[in-house]
Structure 1
Amino acid sequence: MKFSSLIPVVLIAAVVTQGCVSSKKYKDLQASYDQLKEKSKDLNQKYQSGQQDLSGSTSRVKSLEEQIASEKANSASLQAALDKCLSSTSQGNVNISKLVDEINASNKYIQHLVNTKNKSDSLNLVLTNNLTRSLSREEMRDVDVKVLKGVVYISLSDNMLYKSGSYEISDKAGETLNKIAKIIKDYQGYDVLIEGNTDNVPISQTNIRNNWDLSALRASSVVQSLQNNYGVEPKRLTAGGRGEYNPVAGNDTPDGKARNRRTQIIITPKLDQFMELIGKAPEQATEPVKE
């Protein structure tokens, strides 16, 4: 609405009805006209500002309506997904129960393995302590006892075990082998592997072809001595030769070669005990679990 157009009409009407007016009256009318003009200008500005605010509000309302429509669509989609989940709750409960049973069985098996390992570690520690306490200080210079990954390794130097350049057991090795044999017989649940090792110097005897032969013959000599002289059950014993191919030191020095010329007595749990552990593993599900 325009207010400025009304002001001249009012003034003209006043002049016509009253004729000539005094100067003071005219000034008063002029002042009133100016005030009305300012008010009209101010009202027009407010009107324009109101129109702009209305336009902005309309735009925001439209945006909110679009957001509401989008949220309603999302809500409908979620409801449909929920309805689908609820319709398959029965099957889902079966699958979850099956998974829980399998996890429980697996956890029991893992605990069984942990307990078995702890028991084996304890036995190995006792075995090692008993053996080292039975050996003299002089014997300990030629015997090295270690436990690696649950297996007991008794490493015997060739200088103590065999006659020079031979695979025959020396007389001074008898007492040491006797002590080892007593420990082996005390632990009936263990198998014993005798493993021969050499340095890389080729053998020059006519009845021995190479270091493979020498290492195997020396391991066989220890096996037969444990069986025949110290009463270890032969079914628990295995002889094997690794020649020069399992060194523990470099062959470029006399000391390194001496360390490589060794025979190891390896004491391990029996194979059927491992198979028993495998047999106790939880059975796997015959059908894949559906998601």
Structure 2
Amino acid sequence: MKRLSIYAGMAFLAMALLLPGCVSNKRYNTLQENYDAILLKEREVAARYQDVQKQLSSANTRVTSLEDQIASERANVKSLQEALNQCLTSSNQGNVNISKLVDEINASNRYIQHLVNTKNKSDSLNMVLTNRLTRSLSREEMQDVDVQVLKGVVYISLSDNMLYKSGSYEISERAGETLSKIAKIIMDYSDYEVLVEGNTDNVPISQRNIRNNWDLSALRGSSVVQALQNDYGVDPKRLTAAGRGEYNPIASNDTESGKTRNRRTQIIITPKLDQFMELIDKAPENGATPDTGSTTVDTTRVLPIQQ
């Protein structure tokens, strides 16, 4: 891709040298500066996009890891309870082992409850965020905005008909009120990171300074990020702009309705990764009992944990 860009630039310069009568020196210098600026911006966007994709992938992996840990701990508690029940029904021998089993069950119960509570809290915050946003949008705005929560991540999808003019990356006046409502929600939830991702259909675009759908999608993501920062005061350290071109469709490009759905900009709101790391680090080791609650086991009657 890099070589193609260099070859394209050399070809452009060669044409300009061969056809001096067609383009003035001033016009040539302006076009060259625009071209160089787009190449630089493309590299910056691509680098930031790769970083945030790794972070988003890591967040999804850690959510899955937490769910796996919960399932594993529940299985472990079930096994411990079965062993304890056997000890209680067989004889009074081995009281020391029973006491140890009770301690392990209590530690596992508290850790499981901590994981469940933390995950429920995160899910609840996401639902509150989603409900606040949907309630703030008018019925007309909801026709161009789709809000979903998937695996602990909030996805706000905005149609390009509302955000931009056809084939352009400039924000329209119509989008201002909707973006202001989204910006307010983002600012209220300061512990979340924000990725703005442009998407297009598969119709090729050929405009001056926009080579293809990769350029268009990245410029659209960057336009929304700059609007959130410059017009609505969102901290730029929380923002990342990206473009996925035509390669992340949610519908078939064989129909006009499908192309319309694919032409969208997604605002992806995700918790910071250090929150997941803290949960992983709190797992009990060697019978340790983390301070996450006061749940205890009645040694006369061991009940299964609620699913």
Is TM (by shorter chain) over 0.5? yes
| 1:224 CA drift (Å) | 0.9
For the residues of structure 2 that align with 1:150 and 1:258, how far apart are their CA atoms? Answer: 27
Q: 2:253 matched to 1:244?
A: no
Q: 2:188 matched to 1:198?
A: no
Q: Which residue of 2 aligns with 1:235?
A: 237
For the residues of structure 1 that align with 2:282 and 2:212, how far apart are their CA atoms? Answer: 45
Aligned residues: 196
| 1:98 CA drift (Å) | 6.7
Percent identity at matched positions?
84
Note closer, same or farther for the CA distance 1:284–1:163 as it changes in structure 2 (3 Å cut).
farther
Q: Which residue of 2 aligns with 1:134?
A: 136
For the residues of structure 1 that align with 2:112 and 2:203, how far apart are their CA atoms? Answer: 47
1:172-187 aligned within 5 A: 172-187=174-189
Given residue 157 of structure 2, which amino acid in structure 1 is its aligned partner?
S
Residue 230 of structure 1 aligns to a residue in which SS? coil
Highest relative contact order (Cα 8 Å, sep 6+), 1 or 2? 2
Q: Of 101, 124, 127, which residue of structure 2 is paired with 1:125?
A: 127
Residue 265 of structure 2 aligns to a residue in which SS? strand
For the residues of structure 1 that align with 2:116 and 2:257, how far apart are their CA atoms? Answer: 40
Structure 2: 5+ residue stretches without partners? 1-92, 288-307
Q: What is the CA RMSD across the aligned residues, in angstroms? A: 2.3
| 1:206 CA drift (Å) | 3.3
For the residues of structure 2 that align with 1:170 and 1:116, how far apart are their CA atoms? Answer: 40
| 1:118 CA drift (Å) | 1.0
1:55-204 aligned within 5 A: 104-204=106-206
- TM-score normalized with structure 1 length: 0.61
Given residue 193 of structure 2, which amino acid in structure 1 is its aligned partner?
D
Deviations 1:149-177 (A, max 9, x none): 22211110001011221111111111100
**Runs of 4+ residues over 3 Å off in structure 1:** 96-107
Residue 209 of structure 1 aligns to a residue in which SS? coil
| 1:235 CA drift (Å) | 1.3
Note closer, same or farther for the CA distance 1:120–1:211 as it changes in structure 2 (3 Å cut).
same
| 1:114 CA drift (Å) | 0.9
- TM-score normalized with structure 2 length: 0.58
| 1:104 CA drift (Å) | 4.4
For the residues of structure 1 that align with 2:117 and 2:109, how far apart are their CA atoms? Answer: 12
| 1:284 CA drift (Å) | 6.3
Indicate the larger mover: 146-155 or 251-260. Answer: 146-155
Given residue 277 of structure 1, which amino acid in structure 2 is its aligned partner?
L
Residue 193 of structure 1 aligns to a residue in which SS? strand
